[in-house]
Amino acid sequence: MTPATRTEDESTVAPDDVVEDEPRTPRGWWRLALLLVGALVFVFPFYYMIVGSLQKTQNQSLSGALPQPGNLTLHNYSEVNAALDLGRALINSGIFTGGVLLATVIFGVLAGYALAQLHFRGRSLLFVMMLLLLMVPFQLLIIPLYVLIVRNYGLGNSYLGMIAPFAINSTAVFIFRQYFMQLPKELFDAARIDGANELRILTRVALPLVRPALLTAMLLTFIGPWNEYLWPFLITKQQRMEPLAVALANYMNTVQSTVANPFGTILAGAFVLAVPAVVLFLAFQRYFIAPNIGSAVKG
Amino acid sequence: MVPVRSSFVARVKLRATVVVVFTLSLGLSALGGSAVASAKPAPLSYGPINIWYSNNAQEITWGEQEVAAWNHLYPSQKVTGQQIPAAESSEEVIEAAITAGSEPCLIYNTAPAAVPDFEAMGGLVSLNSFPGAVSYIYARTGALAGMYKSPDNEFYQMPWKSNPVVIFYNKTEFAKAGISTTNPPLATYSEFLATAKKLVSSGAAKLAIDPSPSSEFYEAWYDFYPLYAAESGGKLLVENGKATFDSSAGQAVAAFWAQLYKEKLAGNETYTGDPFADGTAAMAIVGPWAIADYQGKEGSPKVNYGVAPLPTSKGNTSYTVPTFSDAKSIGMYASCKNRGTAWDFLKFTTSESADGKLLSLTGQMPMRQGLEKLYASYFKANPDYIDFAVESAHIIDCPYVSNSIEVWQVFRNDWSKAVIFGSGSTDAALASASAAINKLVASNSSP
Amino acid sequence: MKVEAELPPRTRPSVVELESELPPSAPEPLVKRLGRVALGRQPIGLAFGAPYALFIAVLFAYPLGLSVWISFHSYFFTAPGMSVARPFVGFANYRAVLSDPAVRQSLLNILIFLVINVPLTVGLSMLLASALNSLIPFRAFFRACFYVPYVTASVAMVAVWLFMFNSTGVVNSVLGPLAPVPSWLVNQNWAMPSVAVYVTWKQLGFFILLYLAALQNVPKELYEAASMDGASWWHRLWAVTVPGVRTVTTLITLLAIIVGANLFTEPYLLTAGGGPSGKSASPVLLMYQTGIEQNHPDFASALGVLLVLLVLVVVAAQRLLQRHQA
């Protein structure tokens, strides 16, 4: 039973459990309790965000952690929408993230495949550069990048300018490479002997085999631009171009006291920002599961 | 080769010459475009321009009205206005825009502290290049305009509006603490401290006063600098290339604030929103722009506020004692093509009537001499604002030095450590900041 | 978070070894052989990799080179068309960086951060992954709980944390008299640890998943053998699990170090401007302040280059250690 073919099945016995004749109750119970505590602690801030965003007046005490019927309102959401134009900001985030996803799917897959299965001059150089890119902090590059993109290429305040530095996500390329490397070489040799060209090999042979990995890498790639704040902040000059992460961060700094519950409105905006990412992850959870990443890190 | 050699060669030679001359001229123009990008004696051009104004709600209203009025009069020189796309510190956005060459013609939110840096970047146009500009500025603002000149006597900004910083107090909470609401004892440092203690200990308010304790470079303008202006009789942070605050005046101000923080009368945690508007703090140290917040809108209760002048160690009850201006200037930026229109629009928006509209819409003080007389009807209807008008004649601003932002950051770091978080002696912190700032100012690279 | 990954030592045969295993084929024509030598066996790889290579060259290599160049000159940003002297200053910027007490404080802060974050991350994620790997109901729900923080933007979660951890927040209400005064994020001693805990919490989901994956590959027989020898769960953890996931532990340690060294968003948002007395400033935050806010990109670039070199040293040391262990 190879990791790649094992499916997520609740009835599968995980290796850490020795079933046989041991009564499961005592140890299993303890582990469940630990997980429950851990999960509750983990998810509490997220839950608190929801509760806080629904509060009519700010209540920071412990009792405020529970939703109080008298203090519930959706008003904060309409407030933040009035201040930020959530719809527009979400669209901007979508375009930004979508552009990155597109570029990564097309060019990242090509590059990952090339690094994994093709032999060509400059392959190791490309690989080393990729590793270096993963290691260098973005803030070191942000300054020259800004001058390059805005002054030299004139892409200031444009979606292209926003997307450019993030266009091909190197982590995704790394993951693609790892997954393609897991595929047996004989598969490709056979296809080559059959006379298929490399592009066809990639699309007909390799890609279908790593589709779960593709989705995994895409989900990981989604997080970056969706939550990115600094670069779009520098690039955009008009509020109507700002992605939601930027608009929200700016709003946090200038929240007017004319609003009934400033914290509540901020949390409402935060929730709106968080929801699409969380929903996507929950929906595609079964792809983002152990076996897929397992084969990636095994090597 | 055809035996029309001479003409062919001649054509080649001609082409070569043209290319060489063209390249040389490009190179020369690149060289010539150095020094001060603003000193180009080019003829003024007229046409559409872009402007930015701040993201303060009332200023946006004013801005939109002015733009609409102008566009009605001069449709061929259309002005497009928008809010500055930034939050806490607009300087980064402006600096980034200057670097990219994408900033607008006019920015109605230029902080005087940032002007020296923008000038060094070549991002600002010297207004002196416009005929009659200098006299226009002095006629409007008076002698105070001198603070806004560069060391080489050029105006890279037009001083526009000020928000003289004074003490606001919450009358309801003062009453609850049993303190007089018409004449609260806030004149000397010791009175102020006693009042503050009473407010907190009586439970009337959680904090006596809560200026933002965060470490951004501009926060010193709202705790240290106004009091220092009052205490020192109007000294700037740096004068004649030397820091001035390592003095008894500076030390007194630092000790005063340190006491407030030590006794938990001022908060050292960032507060989201406005603590005075929320009632968390019984006092605030701010200018008239904040009144709109305190008058409140739906849901937010009105703050029954009163205004008092800044305290000094010896005692002060007058609004003629210097304070920080919290002023904003209008800057004209280097990427502006239609400078003629920009200058005309600048004059249009700083005319007497435009200033009057600014005053009535925002409550902020245009930097125009003789406000009380010119807009007497406004002040009759809003007597609360007269104090600000009086103060606005006694403001000081940030010193015009290169590395200005860094200077303020250095000050803030030392202040934060010793005064807000009580680590180390305040006198030593002032001395250390002063030494560092002297070095910075001495090393500045003038353009 | 930008996920960095360093390749663990290869266990697959390298290209060279594989090539030597190929059966000898008919002699190739000379041109084709030269082409193969010059460009590799599948030169179309160049075409496949070209867009990415272009992306790297233009949007990474060039700005990186420019940054390094800036770090050796006296440089500040100017408007286009404005030319100023940008003299070569050798190592002056580097000297300024190394002698700046704020920089030293920020490096110390990162050290504190790493000391808290890395062991906590490795330990907690392994523990939780172990627990998640066993047969329990609602596995999907638990998994979701742990990676929800990872998926949400720091900008969003920071607001909640500020709300929870300020002096009148929920946490202090619960702790009552035990709450630190001044409160967490403004407390000189607690500011950086608070940031460390926040980042640990936020990233843990991703690392749990990495461990979960690795745990799938630890052979069941090892656990069965250990259990038959009478080992308790805790002993089994140390005897079987920990050695079994060693490569991933190295990977996670490295990732955590790289992320920690490049920390920016959290100090920037949680403790605006570097916290009490700069006790939660990170080097990258300083780079942002000096480079972008104060217009001294020469200083900032020198700091950045030093940071990258530091990270490279740590990574190299890790790999050396790993090779010795293996």
Band of residue B174 on the pLDDT scale cut at 50, 70, 90: very high
CA C113, CA B382: separation in Å to the nearest integer? 54
In a domain, A260, yes or no: no
Confidence at residue A290, expressed as pLDDT on a 0 to 100 scale: 46
Residue of B402, B253, B394 lying closest to B324 (CA atoms): B394
Tell whether A49 and A181 lie within a shared domain: no
Q: Do C135 and A24 touch (CB under 8 A)?
A: yes
Chains with 3 or more CB pairs under 8 A to chain A = B, C
Question: What Å distances lie between residue B355 and B62, B77, B374, B404, CA to CA?
Answer: 10, 22, 10, 29
List, as ranges, residues 96-125 from A with C-beta within 8 Å of C: 106-108, 110-111, 113-115, 117-123
In a domain, A94, yes or no: yes
CA dihedral B181, B187, B191, B195 (to 10 degrees): 30
In a domain, A55, yes or no: yes
Confidence at residue B171, expressed as pLDDT on a 0 to 100 scale: 92
pLDDT mean across residues, chain A: 76
List, as ranges, residues 177-206 from A with C-beta within 8 Å of C: 181, 185, 197-199, 202
Residue B67 has pLDDT above 70, yes or no: yes
User: Residues for chain A: how many in total?
Assistant: 299
CA C4, CA A133: separation in Å to the nearest integer? 9
Maximum average pLDDT range among B17-31, C104-118, C247-261: C104-118
**CATH topology for the B49-156+328-366 domain:** D-Maltodextrin-Binding Protein; domain 2 (3.40.190)
The C-alpha of A257 sits at a distance from chain C's nearest C-alpha, in angstroms, of 16
Q: Chain C: residue nearest B447 by CA?
A: C84
Residue of C130, C138, C137 lying closest to C233 (CA atoms): C130
**B166-324+400-442 matches B49-156+328-366 in CATH topology:** yes
C325 vs B283, more confident:
B283
∠ CA B252-B253-B257, nearest 5°, is 115
The residue assigned the tokens 């249009």 is B348
Among the partner-chain residues A10, A118, A220, the one whose CB lies closest to the CB of C3 is A220
Tell whether A163 and A291 lie within a shared domain: yes
Band of residue C160 on the pLDDT scale cut at 50, 70, 90: confident
Band of residue C190 on the pLDDT scale cut at 50, 70, 90: confident
Confidence at residue A209, expressed as pLDDT on a 0 to 100 scale: 77
DSSP secondary structure string for all residues of B149-161:
S-TTS--SSEEEE
Tell whether A100 and A215 lie within a shared domain: yes
| Candidate from B176-185, B252-261, C42-51 with smallest mean pLDDT | C42-51
Cα dihedral C287, C293, C299, C305 sign? positive
Domain ranges of chain C: 30-91, 94-325
Structural domain boundaries, residue A188: 86-246+273-298
Confidence at residue B79, expressed as pLDDT on a 0 to 100 scale: 94
In a domain, A259, yes or no: no
CA B192, CA B230: separation in Å to the nearest integer? 15
Band of residue A22 on the pLDDT scale cut at 50, 70, 90: very low
The C-alpha of B102 sits at a distance from chain C's nearest C-alpha, in angstroms, of 9
CA B131, CA A98: separation in Å to the nearest integer? 52
A166 vs B43, more confident:
A166
Residue B1 has pLDDT above 70, yes or no: no
∠ CA A201-A205-A206, nearest 5°, is 90
CA C187, CA B28: separation in Å to the nearest integer? 58
Confidence at residue B436, expressed as pLDDT on a 0 to 100 scale: 93
Q: Do B121 and C277 touch (CB under 8 A)?
A: no
Tell whether A94 and A136 lie within a shared domain: yes
The mean per-residue pLDDT over the stretch C224-244 comes to 77
List, as ranges, residues 279-298 from A with C-beta within 8 Å of C: 281-282, 285, 288-298
Confidence at residue B22, expressed as pLDDT on a 0 to 100 scale: 37
Confidence at residue C244, expressed as pLDDT on a 0 to 100 scale: 75
List, as ranges, residues 147-176 from A with C-beta within 8 Å of C: 147-148, 151, 164-165, 167-168, 171, 173-174
The mean per-residue pLDDT over the stretch A233-240 comes to 81
Maximum average pLDDT range among B21-35, C34-48, C67-81: C67-81
The residue assigned the tokens 């290209």 is C15
Confidence at residue A19, expressed as pLDDT on a 0 to 100 scale: 39
| Candidate from B39-43, B90-94, B256-260, C2-6 with smallest mean pLDDT | C2-6
B182 vs C30, more confident:
B182
Q: Do C82 and B413 touch (CB under 8 A)?
A: no
Tell whether A41 and A180 lie within a shared domain: no
CA B270, CA A283: separation in Å to the nearest integer? 38
Residue A6 has pLDDT above 50, yes or no: no
Among the partner-chain residues B98, B121, B269, the one whose CB lies closest to the CB of C166 is B269
Residue C237: exposure state from Cβ atoms within 10 A (0-12, 13-18, ≥19): middle
Measured between beta carbons, the chain B residues lying within 8 angstroms of C182 are 268-269, 421
Domain ranges of chain B: 49-156+328-366, 166-324+400-442
- Mutant choice from B92, B99, B269, B280 vs C, greatest count of C C-beta within 10 A: B269
The C-alpha of C107 sits at a distance from chain A's nearest C-alpha, in angstroms, of 15
A28 vs A122, more confident:
A122
Band of residue B21 on the pLDDT scale cut at 50, 70, 90: very low
The residue assigned the tokens 């106004």 is B226
Summarised one tens digit per residue, pLDDT across range A90-112 is: 899 999 999 999 999 999 988 98
Confidence at residue B332, expressed as pLDDT on a 0 to 100 scale: 95
- Mutant choice from A240, A251, A257, A261 vs B, greatest count of B C-beta within 10 A: A257
Please state the ipTM of this predicted complex: 0.77
Domain count, chain A: 2
The mean per-residue pLDDT over the stretch B415-432 comes to 91
Tell whether A241 and A194 lie within a shared domain: yes
Summarised one tens digit per residue, pLDDT across range B321-375 is: 999 999 999 999 999 999 999 999 999 999 999 999 999 999 999 999 999 999 9
- Mutant choice from B88, B99, B207 vs C, greatest count of C C-beta within 10 A: B99
Band of residue B57 on the pLDDT scale cut at 50, 70, 90: confident
Summarised one tens digit per residue, pLDDT across range C266-313 is: 888 777 666 776 778 899 888 888 888 888 889 999 999 999 888 888
In a domain, A263, yes or no: no
User: Residues for chain B: how many in total?
Assistant: 447
Residue B156: exposure state from Cβ atoms within 10 A (0-12, 13-18, ≥19): buried
In a domain, A258, yes or no: no
| Candidate from A121-135, C113-127, C206-220 with smallest mean pLDDT | C206-220
In a domain, A290, yes or no: yes
The mean per-residue pLDDT over the stretch B399-418 comes to 90
Tell whether A57 and A159 lie within a shared domain: no
The mean per-residue pLDDT over the stretch C172-198 comes to 79
Q: Does domain B166-324+400-442 have CATH number 3.40.50.2300?
A: no
Residue B371's φ and ψ, nearest 5 degrees, are: -60, -45
The C-alpha of A54 sits at a distance from chain C's nearest C-alpha, in angstroms, of 13
The mean per-residue pLDDT over the stretch C72-77 comes to 89
Q: Which residues touch B35 (CB under 8 Å, ≥6 apart)?
A: B447
* Total CB pairs under 8 A between chain A and C: 363
CATH of C94-325, one of 2.60.40.1180, 1.20.1270.10, 1.10.3720.10, 3.40.1010.10: 1.10.3720.10
Confidence at residue B9, expressed as pLDDT on a 0 to 100 scale: 45
Band of residue B209 on the pLDDT scale cut at 50, 70, 90: very high
What percent of chain A is predicted at pLDDT more than 90? 8
B357's enclosing H/E stretch is: helix B352-362
CATH code assigned at A131: 1.10.3720.10
Q: Do C155 and A245 touch (CB under 8 A)?
A: yes
Residue of B139, B174, B95, B163 lying closest to B333 (CA atoms): B95
Confidence at residue B175, expressed as pLDDT on a 0 to 100 scale: 93
